[in-house]
Amino acid sequence: MRKITAILAISLTFGALSAVNVAEKAKYKRAEALEQLVYLEVPLKNFGSEKPELVQQYTDIKNKYTVALSFFFEDNFVESYKLFIEVQNGLEKLYEQVSLFYIDRTNLLLQQAVKEATEIEMRYNRRATFATQAIGKKREAGVRIGQDKKEVKLEQRLYDPKDIHYLYDKKRMIDNIDVAYMQLGQAKVARQKALDLEKWLEKGKAMPPTMKKSRIESYRAVIELCRQAKVNGIMVMQLNRIFDNYELQTRFKDNYFMKEKRLDPVFDFAIPDDYVKDASDSRNAMHDNNERIMVKGEDPAKIAQEGRTPVSKAKRFEKQSSSSGETKPK
């Protein structure tokens, strides 16, 4: 009788310990899943229109997380843990697709940056005519006084003096592209290493949750590297349009938030409209929220549903764009 009682007591104790263990595992897995869901919200909000199928996957995973959380609050830790594992499996696949999208989009952005930098390098290289001309007061004036006290016209300058900044900024553009492609290369390597994790498993063995978590963290690192690369690529475009914010910053010179280093992408004329969303995303900001607040209070989602064209930066402050594309100060 004592033996039976002892065995029963041991069984109950082991069962209680197992329940506690599953409860702890469910607790930590819940925290992991929540953090991973929250991180994806900004990328999918910003680029959901380009990848609606990823948004749908994200919605399905969130719904499953909600069900798992219901079981968790019911103290049904076994079932909740099982569902949290399924949530993590779904997130792992979603992160993989999002990381690939970021690599592709970063590559397109950098190609545009290279195109602009190449045009500048060809036009404003050391052997360009304007680069070898001397700059002095007399040449700036365009005339000189001859010995007979008469004005003699000098050779007309073959360049716009405002374009002189290309001599100094060209190297910065090339350096930014160099760093951007280095970061993009690191992102590709990180993604491939995450994909290769299964090579370390025994044949037929399922990947454990700890390895799934590690893979998700690698995909997140890919996204961050792509964001940094895009910042460098966008900087090339900003340097190419260095005078585009001149009017904005003179009209709002007393506004603290209009300073060049603090300028939000939705206000920055130096960033092309096609890449403003990327600039916001690289700050981990939701582009639509910024647009709604800063551009006449209109909801970008409503504009898209109605098929209207969003307000471009050129019209936000009644900025007149010339047909020649000249945006430098007069």
Q: What is the pLDDT of residues 76-116, one digit of tens each?
A: 999 999 999 999 999 999 999 999 999 999 999 999 999 98
Q: What pLDDT is attached to residue 18?
A: 46
Name the burial class of residue 59, with classes exposed (0-12), middle (13-18) and buried (19+) by CB atoms within 10 angstroms of its CB. Answer: exposed
The encoded tokens of residue 112 equal: 């545009």
Q: What are phi and psi of 56, to 5 degrees?
A: -65, -40
For residue 300, what are the contacts with CB-CB under 8 A and spacing of at least 6? 287, 288, 291, 292, 310
Q: What pLDDT is attached to residue 246?
A: 75
Helix residue spans in 146-286 (DSSP H) = 165-195, 209-240, 246-251, 276-282
Asked whether the beta carbons of 173 and 120 are under 8 A apart, the reply is yes
* Distance between CA atoms of residues 297 and 73, nearest Å: 40
Confidence grade of residue 323 (pLDDT, cut at 50, 70, 90): very low
Nearest to 47 by CA among 223, 252, 295, 216: 223
pLDDT above 90 covers a percentage of the chain that reads 42
Sequence spans of domains, the chain: 8-240, 242-330
* Distance between CA atoms of residues 72 and 25, nearest Å: 11
pLDDT in tens, 241-285: 887 777 776 777 666 666 666 677 877 888 998 999 999 999 998
Alpha-carbon distances of 163 from 128, 169, 259, 272, 323, rounded to whole Å: 13, 10, 23, 19, 19
Higher pLDDT, 225 or 312: 225
The encoded tokens of residue 9 equal: 């007591």
Bridge partners (DSSP) of residue 152 are: 144
The encoded tokens of residue 78 equal: 């076994």
Mean pLDDT, residues 298-326: 56
Q: What is the mean pLDDT of the chain?
A: 78
What single DSSP character describes residue 274? Answer: G
Confidence grade of residue 226 (pLDDT, cut at 50, 70, 90): very high
Name the burial class of residue 180, with classes exposed (0-12), middle (13-18) and buried (19+) by CB atoms within 10 angstroms of its CB. Answer: buried
Tell me if residue 155 falls in helix, strand or coil.
Answer: coil
Mean pLDDT, residues 154-178: 72
* Distance between CA atoms of residues 118 and 87, nearest Å: 46
Q: What pLDDT is attached to residue 149?
A: 59
Mean pLDDT, residues 230-242: 91
